[in-house]
Amino acid sequence: MGGSRKLWRAGIVAAGLLCSTATAFTPTALAAPADGGAEYVALGDSGAATTGVQKFDPSAPLMCIRSTANTPKLVAEGLGLRLDDRTCSSAKIKDLTTSQGAGVAPQFDALGPNTKLVTVHIGANDTNATKYILNCHTAGARPCADPAWDGDIDSIAAAYSAALRRISELAPNAKVFVDGWPLYVRDGGCPALVGLRPSDAATVQRAFDRLNTVVAAGAAANGATYVDTRARAAGHDMCAPEGERWFDPVLATETLIPYHPTLTGMRGVADIILDAIRASR
């Protein structure tokens, strides 16, 4: 177990899997981009930004670990739109309006009156998920369920809704699409999810499902379209074979980053979002 813990911890630290501090969303004054904003602006965290070591984008800020074949780029390609991809690994809701780090502007800086489409995938890093997921993989004989996890997920609702309202103010002519979190863990788990017992696998997936519920409610209350990516992810969870799974497990072989999208996963989510956008026209 010691070796697997080192592998798991190294994967999280190197990738910035998820961050552990919940933060409030505080709108700040943002100047409209000189060009009025790109047609399509992508906002979000590593779930939208990166495929890890695959298709790494050297033109993006290094801390963002952005990919050239991530979901936003595939969506832009499918629609023939000019994309300003502001997604960045480890991003939290606050990073929509403040700099995430050196060389990384607030993500909302890209929004303007010319923006016609906005996609949003953010919030997991505000829920202390790293701590809870790590606990589930290293729980041993004790259950990993923690009532505080539900509270941390529910706590992002106000900040998330405020962010969606601000998008509408900064990009009044844009349609906003919010994509949720797909199926990560099938019932019972699998050996590739080192240390995760069957009952704890269900705990992890229930947390992602709860996060989807919070985000979907925020979208419905603020004029955005929620895109359910869970149903079509069936059979593509972290226990699926390489080439079919949408996320790498702890024993990551494609992205080298546990709980992060593979190239297949990015394409799968992009196809779902494209279908939702086309259906709204």
Higher pLDDT residue, 19 or 40? 40
DSSP 254: S
Instruction: With a cut of 50, say whether residue 199 has pLDDT above it.
Output: yes
Determine the Cα–Cα distance for residues 27 and 24; give it in Å rounded to an integer: 10
Instruction: With a cut of 70, say whether residue 52 has pLDDT above it.
Output: yes
CB proximity list for 249: less than 8 A, separation 6 or greater: 190, 192, 193, 194, 238, 239, 258, 259
CA 57 to chain centre: 18
236 included as an active-site residue: no
- State the average pLDDT for the chain: 89
Domains assigned to the chain = 2-279 (3.40.50.1110)
User: What is each CA distance from 108 to 25, 31, 33, 36, 60, in whole angstroms?
Assistant: 12, 9, 10, 12, 17
Catalytic residue among 4, 46, 155, 161: 46
Catalytic residue among 121, 137, 236, 260: 260
In the block, tokens 């070591």 appear at 53
As a whole number, mean pLDDT of residues 242-266 equals 95
Instruction: With a cut of 80, say whether residue 203 has pLDDT above it.
Output: yes
Tens of pLDDT, residue by residue over 62-108, are 999 999 999 999 999 999 999 999 999 999 999 999 999 999 999 99
Candidates 1, 88, 17; CA nearest to 252 is 17
199 included as an active-site residue: no
User: What is each CA distance from 89 to 233, 242, 267, 278, in whole angstroms?
Assistant: 22, 23, 18, 28
pLDDT at position 221 is 98
Determine the Cα–Cα distance for residues 71 and 268; give it in Å rounded to an integer: 8
Three-class SS state of 131: helix
Higher pLDDT residue, 281 or 222? 222
pLDDT band per the 50, 70, 90 thresholds, residue 32? low
- Least confident range of 16-30, 73-87, 188-202, 237-251: 16-30
* pTM, rounded to two decimals: 0.88
Instruction: With a cut of 70, say whether residue 279 has pLDDT above it.
Output: yes
Higher pLDDT residue, 1 or 68? 68
CB proximity list for 30: less than 8 A, separation 6 or greater: 97, 106, 108, 109, 111, 170
pLDDT band per the 50, 70, 90 thresholds, residue 33? low
pLDDT at position 12 is 42
pLDDT at position 15 is 40
